[in-house]
Chain A
Amino acid sequence: VDLSLETRQENDHTIIEVGGEIDVYTAPKLRERITELVDEGHRKLIIDLEKVEFMDSTGLGVLVGGLKRVRTNEGSLELICTQERLLKIFRITGLGKVFAIHSSQAEATAQ
């Protein structure tokens, strides 16, 4: 499986559970899903990265683009991630300060 995307609603949050690899080949699929959801009126997006095995900068770029899109619509895009190899990527690029990164869905939806 290259990339899996499962979307579900929890109260007013829309959670996208991502699995597999987010790279230059698959990142457009994630970008499309985020765009669709924002266009459909979803404003509080949570991207769950717990099942992601690999991510490169094109994946990061899609998340940054998604954040920009939801903010334009007065929404939010937050992440769930506890995997050190992914957290390292956010740290290296300084994006750990740009995104709210939670350790669980319960924590992310508690706001």
Chain B
Amino acid sequence: MSVATQPQGGVRVAIARDPALVRTVRLVAAALARRSECPEPLIEEIRLAIGEACAVMIGLEEADQGSDEQIEIKIHTDGDFSATVTGRVGDDDGNFAEIGLDPWALLRGLCEDLTVDEDGAVTTVGLSWPR
């Protein structure tokens, strides 16, 4: 995992496609939201949503230790609190399709402004919460 601060008040985190690392991303997201003085209910929502975006990308597939694929999370704290999560979406849909839900169903309800952009095998999820 690598963490870097970005100019203009943001943080970039890149993790391997290892489910164990998603919790760390959630902790980073919550810490940044808290540092940005977001109210407690919003911090919880941000923690869940950014972790959820990573979880959908990794799915319940076994971690591929030999792969150098990563998921990149950029969190911006200037203006609106926002994040982008970029990576490959796994094949496992978590049984959601069978009940008529798309993989992003939970995220749509958690984030006021959700975008999902696909570029070949790479998907970028944009999340933002107005102040």
Contacts and interface: CB of A to CB of B under 8 A. Distances in A.
B50 to A, nearest CB: 11
A44 to B, nearest CB: 21
Given A23-B51, A54-B48, A56-B48, A93 B23 contact: no
Interface residues of B, number: 28
Contacts of B56: 57
B58 A64 contact: no
A1 interface: no
Given A24-B19, A58-B59, 11 more contacts: A21-B23, A23-B51, A23-B55, A24-B22, A24-B59, A56-B51, A58-B94, A61-B93, A64-B96, A68-B95, A92-B110
**DSSP class of B's interface residues: helix, strand, loop or mixed?**
helix
Q: Contact size class for A?
A: 20 to 34
Nearest to A31: B60
B60 A58 contact: yes
A85 B101 CA distance: 20
B58 to A, nearest CB: 5
Interface of A: 2, 21, 23-25, 27-28, 31, 54, 56-58, 60-62, 64-65, 68, 85, 89, 91-95, 98
Contact of A92 (B96, B99, B103, B106): B106
Contact of A56 (B55, B93, B109): B55
Q: Which of B52, B59, B98 has the most CB of A within 10 A?
A: B52
